[in-house]
Each structure stands twice: as C-alpha cells, then as structure tokens.
Amino acid sequence: MSLSNTAFSQRRILNRFQRAAVILILCTLPSGCSDNDYLTSINGSSTFALVNAYLIDGTGAGAVANSVVIIEGGLIKSVGTGNSLHIPLSVETIDLKGAYILPGLMNTHVHGAYNESNLMEWAKTGVTTVRDLGNFSTSPEQGFAFRNRVADKNEYSRLVAAGPMVTAPGGYGNYPVTSVSDAFYKINQLIDQGADLIKIAIEDNLQGRTWKMLSLDEIRQIVKTAHSRNRRVAAHISNSIHIKTALEGGVDDVDHMTYDYVPDSVIASMVQNNIYWIPTLELWKGVSDRYGNNYITIAKNNLGRFVKAGGKVALGTDFDGYTTPFDLGMPITEIKLMKESGMSLMEIITAGTLNAAYACGMDDKLGSVVPGKIADLLILRSSPLENPEAFLNIKMVIHNGQIIKTY
C-alpha cells in the first residue's frame, strides 16, 4: 500500500508521535499496511535516526551495541549510542531491533556496470558502489555520459568509471597508447572526458594467448599523468612476474590475485609500497572449475600470506569480466572465498568498505560510518562477524541517505 501524495506531504509536518498515530490508524484499514510502507514514508523526511543497532563502522573497530546513526540531507550527521547521543524530538526514529549497520558495500572490480538493471540489482542488495574497470561496449564518452545520467538515481549503485582498459597497440585491453608522449596525451584526454580513474593492462600471456605490453616508461607516464590529476591507476595483472613492473610503475592497486605462487619477498614489497590488492577469487574459482586447474588454490594461498603480512585488500570480483558465472548483487561467493583464504570476517568487511572506498579514490566520502560521509548503509538482520550467510540476510539498504529497499 502506498500513501497518496497529499497524505504524504501532510504527514511530513507531523511530529513522530502524531505520525505513529497516523500509521496506527492507516494500518487498521482493511488493506492493512506493512513495515515497508512506514519506512518508505520516512524518505519524505531528510532527517531520521537509526536506533537500537549494532554498528560495524568499516574501520575495523569492533561492533558497538545500542548504536544510533542520525542521517540528514543524504549525509551521516552524527554517530553515537542511545546513552550518549541526544535525538531531537522532531527527528523520526527507526528502531532496528538489534540489526547490524555497516557502510554500503563496494565491488571494486566489475565490468558490465554501464547497465541500468545491473546497477539496480547491486544497489538493492547493499552494494551501493561499483568500480567498473573496463568498458568494452561503448565509446569512453558514451560511458561517462551514462555514468553522469545515473549519478543522481538512488535506486542505482554508484558507478565509479575507469572507461576503457589502457594498453599497448595489439595489447590486452582496448585503448592503445603508442609512446610516452601519447600516454601523456591519451590519459589527459580520458580524464577530460570524465574518467574517475585509469585502468591499465600489464599482461602478455594468459591461458596460451599472448599480447604486446606497455613499456615501463609508458606505465610511469600514465601513472604520473593520472596522479597529477588526482586519479588512481589500477593494473590488471594475472602473473606474478609482472608485479615488479607494477611496483616500479607506481600503480595504486593490482586487480587480480595472481594464479601462480607469489614469493614472500614480493608480497613484502607490495605491503611496503602500500599497493592494494583486489583478489577476484570468484574469477579464479570459475576458471578452475571449468578447466580443472589449481588457479584458485594458489590465489587463495597468495591472498592469505598477503593479508598475514599486513597487505591491504579491497573487495572485487571481476563480475562480467569472463564467461564464467559471477554473483550479480551481493558478492557472497567472493566473501566466502576470502574467508577460506584466511581473512577474518572483519577484515573482509573492511575490504568491502573503507579499503574499497580508498581504491575508488573516495575514502573521504564513503566507506565508513562517520559524520560528514555520504549515508550509504547496509543493514543486516544477523551478525556478519559470525557467519558470512548474514550478508544475504538483509533488512534495509540506504543509499545517499534514502531508504531504497527494505526486506
């Protein structure tokens, strides 16, 4: 049941006690009324408070009971507990009844995000931001125009767009640069057109197929140009021999776990250089399932040792990056594979929130539940610190301060 516009606007000026009375009356009408109607009506207010919840804030700090989060104008206004934070009487409250508040999750390695139905599917399952690392279906300008068109639609996941994958002529990827000076020109052009970050390929041999590769000087020029304009550089790598190139080139993140063994010394260099790793274990599981190889076993071993060494991980699956199956929406397969690799559920949450926000270059706006950040929240009915299945037990999704889905 939905309320008429007139009734809706009238209700906005009632205080929360009067609203409760209205809800009570409406719910006694023959058609009845669900929790969802009540919660949807709250979207008429730009300010509301979530109360009586556990808060897992995305920073790696433990869950805090009896938490209160006040949302105003799409942002997180204040965070505290029922004992410490005063909620003005004029502010609508939602009793979460012991549910778990997390920052909205982010999948930092997807393809196929220039697609409205995919963006809706991600958003409604609490994946409120996706980072697309390779648009192969439209021109860069068309892709960035799509990103701009959907940016203010709260029912869609936020699209962070690299545009095409930069490579050498005849290389793995779809946006060739021919020289150091061409790299300077083309990267500036991509950023002028609207690229949120730059994705490059460091790949010459995968499953028997071979490609030409960017030179180290070209990679350094790409990174220098992108960084001078405050954009991160993400690198496709699948083989550990290319990690040295990524390190020397100065990229910010490596966008697959490698499927061959990474020596501990190389892991130590990555940790020392603060290079983030985006594992895409779901990709390697799909490849191993199909071809009967041990890529996933080795990738999980590499990830476990990287995390143990203090390496920073951001969650990413490579959705639609290969013909094997991928979860659209909640990346539950990836979460379970990360856990099997030795990551704690708290480490996985941080990988999917604050670390993911860093990889997107948006950690000042997203990824943790602190005042001033955008109110993207995933609310789960059970504890995601006890069982990964909790990620499928969703109660509510809030995107840009709007309740976009209740379950």
The CB-of-282 to Zn ion minimum distance in angstroms stands at 11
Residue 334 makes contact with Zn ion by CB under 5 A: no
The CB-of-127 to Zn ion minimum distance in angstroms stands at 16
Residue 321 makes contact with Zn ion by CB under 5 A: yes
The CB-of-257 to Zn ion minimum distance in angstroms stands at 12
Cβ nearer to Zn ion, comparing 132 with 218: 132
Choose the stretch contacting Zn ion; rule: CB under 5 A; options: 227-235, 297-305, 319-327, 354-362.
319-327
Q: Are 379 and 100 within 8 A, CB to CB?
A: yes
The CB-of-165 to Zn ion minimum distance in angstroms stands at 8
Would you give the binding string for Zn ion spanning residues 289-318, x where CB under 5 A is met? -----------------------------x
The CB-of-143 to Zn ion minimum distance in angstroms stands at 15
Taking the C-alpha atoms of residue 297 and residue 406, their distance in angstroms, rounded to an integer, is: 37
The CB-of-407 to Zn ion minimum distance in angstroms stands at 30
Dihedral sign, Cα of residue 241, residue 231, residue 272, residue 333: negative
Would you give the binding string for Zn ion spanning residues 134-173, x where CB under 5 A is met? ----------------------------------------
Nearest residue to Zn ion, scored by beta-carbon proximity: 321
Q: Which residues partner with 378 through β-bridges? A: 102, 397
Cβ nearer to Zn ion, comparing 286 with 384: 286
Residues that bind Zn ion (rule: CB under 5 A) add up to a total of 2
- 160: closest CA among 379, 363, 401? 363
Cβ nearer to Zn ion, comparing 126 with 321: 321
- Residue 304, classified by CB atoms within 10 Å of its CB into exposed (0-12), middle (13-18) or buried (19+), is middle
Which of 67-94 are b and which e, b meaning 16 or more Cβ less than 10 Å from the residue's Cβ? Answer: bbbbbbeebbbbbbeeeebebeeebbbb
Pairing, β 47-55 against β 64-72: antiparallel
244-249: which pairs have CB atoms within 8 A and are 24 or more residues apart?
245/202, 245/216, 245/219, 246/202, 246/275, 247/273, 247/275, 248/216, 248/220, 249/202, 249/216, 249/219, 249/220, 249/222, 249/223
Cβ nearer to Zn ion, comparing 58 with 352: 352
Cβ nearer to Zn ion, comparing 143 with 321: 321
The CB-of-48 to Zn ion minimum distance in angstroms stands at 38
Cβ nearer to Zn ion, comparing 55 with 283: 283
Cβ nearer to Zn ion, comparing 50 with 133: 133
DSSP 52-89: EEEE--SSSPPPEEEEEEEEETTEEEEEEETTT----T
Residues that bind Zn ion (CB under 5 A): 318, 321
